[in-house]
Structures are given as structure tokens and as C-alpha cells.
Amino acid sequence: MKTVAILGSPRPKSNSTALARKILEVAGAQGAETQEFVLNKLQFKGCQACETCKTKLDHCVLEDDLTQVLEAIHQADAVVMATPSYFGEVSGQFKSFFDRTYSFLNPDFSCRLAPGKSSVFIMAQGQSNLNLYTDVHPRYEMWLKRYGFVSNHLLRMNGPRPADSVSERQDLIAQAQEIAKNLMGTATKTAADKW
Ligand SMILES: Cc1cc2nc3c(=O)[nH]c(=O)nc-3n(C[C@H](O)[C@H](O)[C@H](O)COP(=O)(O)O)c2cc1C
């Protein structure tokens, strides 16, 4: 079981990162091989729309720090994606990463990834109202399903909260733990996560 986290916040003490790391910690304690990538520390470009991945290659032609991230997703059983909410969307770092996953698609838009992976989408926002931004995850989940992900979990943190304040949200830590157990196939029947 290999679990990879893609971390989209630039904040060193990011709440979305902390929740993703909690999932890695619990999965790791149960025997998962874990790996994380902090996008803000990587040097990479967004998709260049060159279409080489649809014409000449079965992967992205760009060779930069994101190359290893895209390869890690190929190898992973579960992918944890964490991002802050910026202007009602994901962070720019996360969006640039996600655009590069265009290379996962064949020319006929079937997917090059092995099917059956799990995903966790974590989004932290400043606003307290969780009825805001409900459109974000479904849009990414639509593509994750196209990429063959079969089990897609959502974990959202509302604010206002300062950085490094996840410890005040034991409810979300419990959800993260339950999602990790679900990824590992050891969840209880009272799983609080969403599919
Ligand atoms: C550029 C920028 C844009 C933001 N836009 C929003 C927003 O539209 N809605 C919102 O609720 N919070 C917004 N926030 C607040 C962040 O989503 C919030 O601080 C979140 O907890 C950050 O996640 P992190 O701790 O993982 O970095 C914004 C913050 C920044 C820096």
C-alpha cells in the first residue's frame, strides 16, 4: 500500500498540510509506505498545452520537479491532495500541478493510470460557512473518476483559524484518522468521511 500526499499550501504551518500528514501518519502506522510533496518547494511549470502527451509521448514532455510527483501518482494506491481555498478555488500551486495531470490522459481521453486508486481531497478555508465552495471538490472528483480513482474522500476545514490550529479541531483529526483507516481497509462502520 503506497500513499502519496500532494501538498498545495505555501504555509509552513498549513492546516490542510497538517490534516494530510495526519492521514499519512495513521496509514504509515498501519504499514503503508508514505511519501509527500510540498508543491511550493518544487520548481515546475504549469501545462504548456503542447499536446506532446497526446501526439508523441505517453507522459508529460516537461522534465522538472513535478516529473517525480506524476510518477509517484502512477505508483500510488492512494493519493492525498491538500489545498487551501484561494478565491473560492484551489491554490495556484495545486492548480498548476493538476493541469499537468492532463498527461495522464491518452489521445482518446481514456486514462493511462492503473484503475482502482483512492483519493482524499482536503481543502482548508478561512470562511466559517461550509456551504461556500461546495462546487470545488466535485469538479476535481469528476476528473479523478476519469483517472480511474474509485474511492474519493473529502475532508474540509472551515475557519477563521490561524495557521497551525488543527489541534483545536479534534473532529477533523478524527475524520482524518478514519479516512486513513478506510484507505487501509481497517475503518470502523461509523466512518465519518464522505465518498
Ligand atoms: C490569496 C488568498 C486567498 C484566499 N481566499 C479565500 C477565499 O476565497 N475563501 C476563504 O474562505 N478563504 C480564503 N483564504 C483563506 C485561506 O483559505 C485559509 O487561511 C486556509 O485555512 C489556508 O489553508 P492552509 O492553512 O492549508 O494554508 C485565502 C487566503 C489567501 C492567502
User: Any idea what the CATH number is for the domain that residue 45 is in?
Assistant: 3.40.50.360
C-alpha grid cell for residue 158? 472551515
Has residue 191 been placed in a domain?
no
Domain enclosing residue 147, as ranges: 2-183
Residue 11: count other Cβ atoms within 10 Å of its Cβ. 16
Q: What is the pTM of this model?
A: 0.95
> What pLDDT score was predicted for residue 133?
98
Average pLDDT score over residue span 29-55: 98
Q: Per the domain annotation, does 114 fall within a domain?
A: yes
Mutate to test the pocket of ligand 1, among 90, 95, 125, 132 (most ligand atoms within 8 A of CB): 125
25 found inside a domain = yes
Cα separation values, 77 from 25, 38, 53, 169, Å: 16, 19, 23, 28
14 pocket-lining for ligand 1 (C-beta < 6 Å):
yes
Q: What angle do CA 179, 70, 58 make, to 5 degrees?
A: 130
For ligand 1, what atom is nearest to the CA of residue 18?
26
> What pLDDT does residue 44 have?
98
Q: Which tens digits make up the pLDDT trace of 81-113?
A: 999 999 999 999 999 999 999 999 999 999 999
What tens digit of pLDDT does each residue of 10-23 get? 999 999 999 999 99
Q: Provide the domain count of the chain.
A: 1
CA distance 161 to 109: 40
Do the domain assignments include residue 189?
A: no
Query: Is 49 within 8 Å of 99 (Cβ atoms)?
Result: no
pLDDT tens-place string over residues 137-192: 999 999 999 999 999 999 999 998 899 999 999 999 999 999 999 999 976 543 34
